A and B are shown apart, each in its own frame.
Chain A
Amino acid sequence: MLVADRIIALGIMALSAYFMWHAAELPIGWNAMTGGPGGGAFPFWLSAIMMLAALSILIRTFRYEPPEKGSDEPFFDSVMLPSVVKVTAALIITVALIPYAGAYIALPLFVFWYVKIYGKHGWAITLSLTIGIPVFLFFFFEATLKILLPKGFTEPYFFPLYAMFF
């Protein structure tokens, strides 16, 4: 926990430095001619404050006894961490798949993986969700709200559906 606290504080400091570097591309000072701070001033100085606050968190972890009770526990639950990583990876793969295979292949695959393989549920519930979710998405988002989801190479297969429902 203490180690994680330090790593996160350091991470935030690195992030603020990165923001400050980007923000400094615009004027960060007080421009008397146009009256008021320049375009980069807000992000730059706020990042600076963020860095100082993170620094104080970092220093605190060295100076005092760990304040909260569970602070000697490990940051991650070692048994469940693989699950979290797996779900995150599945999400990333799904989103990466969407532009090529389309939402109507990527999302059902994700649901199938989550319910059947990861959640170990029965076939009945798995199949009804894998089929039900895309059908719901099509009728709710596309047919009713007219929000088109990405289709990738499956696009031509939807032309007859468009002709029917629009």
Chain B
Amino acid sequence: MDTLALLADGFATSLLPLNLMIVILGVTAGLFIGAMPGLGSVNGVAIVLPLTFIVPPSSAIILLAAIYYGAMYGGAVSSVLLGIPGASTAVATTFDGRPMAQQGKAGLALIAAATASFVGGTISVVLFTMFAAPLADVALAFGPAEEFALVLLAFTTFVGLGGDDVPKTIVMICLGLVLSTVGLDLISGQPRLIFGDLPGFYSGISFLVLAIGAYGVGEILYTIEKSRTSPTVTPAKITFKELGAGLRAMNRMWKTMSLGSFLGFFVGMLPAAGATPAALMAYGVARQTSKQPETFGTGNIEGVAAPETANNAASTGSLLPMLTLGIPGSPTTALLLGGMVMWGLVPGPMLFIEQPDFVWGLISSLYTANFAAVVINIALIPLFVWALRMPFAVLCAIVMVLCIVGGFAPSQKLHDVWLIIAFGVGGYLLRKADYPLAPLVLALVLGPLMEKSFRQTLIAEQGNVLAFFERPLSATFLCLAIVFFIWPLVGLLFTRDHKDHPHVPSKRPKFARTKKT
């Protein structure tokens, strides 16, 4: 009851006319920032943080929440329209979002992403409201061993055996993991694989660089080559009828979306993990439990809905350790944490007791911002879809410029822009040779976490490998991971009778790959 009263107070402030205006402005700005490849909520929050010292504090929180949600929704826009994940959290959205856009169903995909984000955001805020304090203890129970088990689970839900060409998949996973070790080795303090002492490699290879290179530049080169034999862009249009159809389609996906929301919230809540593994796991689970897993990767609307619910839920979840433990789970929450320190608040276990006004003001702003984000996003979909109707050369020129600038912006290093071009050409060649790109990107995102937590555990346990199985949480995750890994193999054994030689890659499309014409 106490909670509800505090929340009602929060709502009373967040629904004032001034604050509503701030929400609309914030969400719109966030949407456009998130829709740019290379930019995400971290840039949005960074620009408004200084502003928050000018406006009244209650409005400041609302503005931050609005930008945060706006950028989360916007990430899906770039994944669907351009096929470039704007942030690592939106990688999984490209797998089915991009093929849908190529079939002329960009509008539908965007509606699915927006609705799914709304559902994910709402369910997670409700969970947050009810269980914020007790859940902090769950986050504490996660040590390096549990982190490792969870990352492994995220990996296997996504990359089971079977499906794509197995040796090629293995090559790409290993390549991604090796690239993820570039830079300083935290454990020994020594630089690794810095290729002739290039300072640009000291900080490692960022996920964004690989994603913009392989999906942005690589995709354009690929499309240019194919543009002689096939129509380049399927004209996309959006009507009210389609909007209705989209919403009805979403109505059938409650199972996928609620699963995605819970998964997203709980994985996002863990400080080390965050939204990216959450989105990938949701995608993997949706595919494994689907009646038609083979349609995933070719434009299945559920493949858009699952990761989008999960990454939005996870973004809300990642606020939890920041507020209750003072540990930022992502660069964005790190900035928010800095802002709170500036306001004279001490994030941590005492925040909920000492500053209930702030906490509940923030939570009620999340509800308002989420609602505003879905409305504004759907209203803007025709504009986004219209952008796809530009002449191909114009669209290409704009996307290339955005790739260069977007690659430069986060780190402000030209080194990264050169890497983007290298990954673009490399990705283009590998893709032509039927190497799946998704496992490469996935491995680069999860690799550092995996290696670090694995080695931390072994150091702490004096090299005892069984330590992973001696702790109940990590043992559970590991067993689940093994089940997920073997599951498709079992399926494969039953269908093997009619197949030809085992080395022949099956035609089942598994990872995002445009159909060849």
A interface with B by C-beta (< 8 Å)? 4-5, 8, 12, 15-16, 19, 22-23, 25-26, 30, 32, 34-40, 42-43, 46-47, 49-50, 53-54, 56-57, 60, 63-64, 67-68, 70, 75-77, 79-81, 83-84, 87-88, 91-92, 94-95, 98-99, 103, 107, 110-111, 114-115, 118-121, 125, 129, 133, 137, 141, 144-150
Whole-angstrom CA separation of A60 from B221 in the bound complex: 28
Whole-angstrom CA separation of A35 from B400 in the bound complex: 47
Q: Does chain A have a CB within 8 A of B458?
A: yes
Closest to B409 in A: A147
Q: Mark B476-517, 1 if CB is under 8 A from A, else 0.
A: 000000000000000000000000010111000000000010
Q: Can you report 19 residue pairs joining A to B where beta carbons are below 8 Å apart?
A: A12-B171, A12-B175, A22-B192, A36-B455, A39-B190, A42-B177, A64-B501, A76-B432, A80-B227, A84-B221, A91-B404, A91-B424, A95-B417, A107-B401, A114-B397, A115-B393, A145-B33, A145-B39, A147-B43
Interface residues of B in 260-319 (CB under 8 A from A): none
Query: Beyond A35-B461, A111-B397, A111-B401, is A8–B430 a contact (Cβ under 8 Å)?
Result: yes
Question: Which residues in A have their C-beta under 8 angstroms from that of B464?
Answer: 35
Whole-angstrom CA separation of A69 from B190 in the bound complex: 48
Contact call B414/A144, Cβ cutoff below 8 A: no
Whole-angstrom CA separation of A8 from B464 in the bound complex: 40
Closest to A92 in B: B421
Chain A nearest Cβ from B327, distance in angstroms: 25
Q: Mark B435-458, 1 if CB is under 8 A from A, else 0.
A: 100000000000000010011001
Query: Beyond A35-B459, A95-B418, is A114–B400 a contact (Cβ under 8 Å)?
Result: yes
Whole-angstrom CA separation of A34 from B298 in the bound complex: 47
Whole-angstrom CA separation of A42 from B186 in the bound complex: 13
Whole-angstrom CA separation of A57 from B171 in the bound complex: 10
Interface centre among A36, A38, A120 (most CB of B within 10 A): A36
Describe B's contact surface by its main secondary structure: helix
B interface with A by C-beta (< 8 Å)? 33, 39, 43, 46-47, 167-168, 170-171, 174-175, 177-178, 181, 185, 187-188, 190, 192-193, 195, 217, 220-221, 224-229, 391-394, 396-398, 400-401, 404-405, 408-409, 412, 414, 417-418, 421, 424-425, 428-430, 432-435, 451, 454-455, 458-464, 501, 503-505, 516
